[in-house]
Amino acid sequence: AQKVTQAQTEISVVEKEDVTLDCVYETRDTTYYLFWYKQPPSGELVFLIRRNSFDEQNEISGRYSWNFQKSTSSFNFTITASQVVDSAVYFCALSEGDSSNTGKLIFGQGTTLQVKP
Amino acid sequence: EPEVTQTPSHQVTQMGQEVILRCVPISNHLYFYWYRQILGQKVEFLVSFYNNEISEKSEIFDDQFSVERPDGSNFTLKIRSTKLEDSAMYFCASSEDRGPYEQYFGPGTRLTVT
């Protein structure tokens, strides 16, 4: 069964703290893709990153970093030195398969991050 | 920067009425999607569409739902007879290639069924 679990419903931090958002996925496919999207208070969904199942290298983009571990089926997202503008709902998502992939994204429940000044 | 647009931003309708939600995907994109998000819940896939055909649909996308690309720019989602439980934010997305590629989302249409 395909599933994405974001166990943290809400996280509150003070500005400049580091914060990690957890994502655990389930899939039977050997080829799959993982995504993170940000949903700020304005409501739109903003793409942050895509990672395929064959690339376990961690990625860093500015204050953002992602840790992909197939052994634990996790794809965690860390924000370093958080800022108030990082306040949003963050969704982890899964897309399965390769040649048969139609682009369908399976989303987790989302984690609401509040960064206080 | 090109973006996906959606109209209207908010639609209020009575139960049993038909609604059409409109989307203009990014111009060179060929793959289109609809998702919905019930207030406070996760985003759920409804349908993917390519070459004037549905590629995949979820169990939510029953006979009350249909999608169409009536011209070269618009992509629409129709709900024939709305129910209270159809109240949600509906997001359109597009991507330039098939499969697990970055999808660009529109700002959403909030549908309220009374």
Would you give per-residue pLDDT tens digits along chain A (117 residues)?
789 999 999 999 999 999 999 999 999 988 999 999 999 998 889 999 999 999 888 889 999 999 999 999 999 999 999 999 999 999 999 998 777 778 899 999 999 999 999
d(CA A42, CA A94): 24
What pLDDT does residue A39 have? 93
Are the beta carbons of A51 and A66 closer than 8 angstroms? yes
d(CA A12, CA A115): 6
| Beta carbons of B103 and A47 less than 8 Å apart | yes
Residue B14 to chain A, least CA–CA distance (Å): 24
Of residues A57 and B4, more confidence is placed in B4
Q: How far is CA B67 from the centre of its chain?
A: 8
| Beta carbons of B48 and A91 less than 8 Å apart | no
Q: How many residues does chain B have?
A: 114
Are the beta carbons of B46 and B58 closer than 8 angstroms? yes
Q: 């007879």: which residue's tokens?
A: B81
Using CA atoms in the order A78, A83, A88, A93, what is the torsion angle rounded to 10 degrees? -20
Are the beta carbons of B76 and B21 closer than 8 angstroms? yes
User: What are the chain A neighbours of B104 within 8 Å (beta carbons)?
Assistant: 47
State the average pLDDT over residues B37-45.
92
Phi/psi at A13 (5° precision): -135, 165
State the average pLDDT over residues B5-12.
96
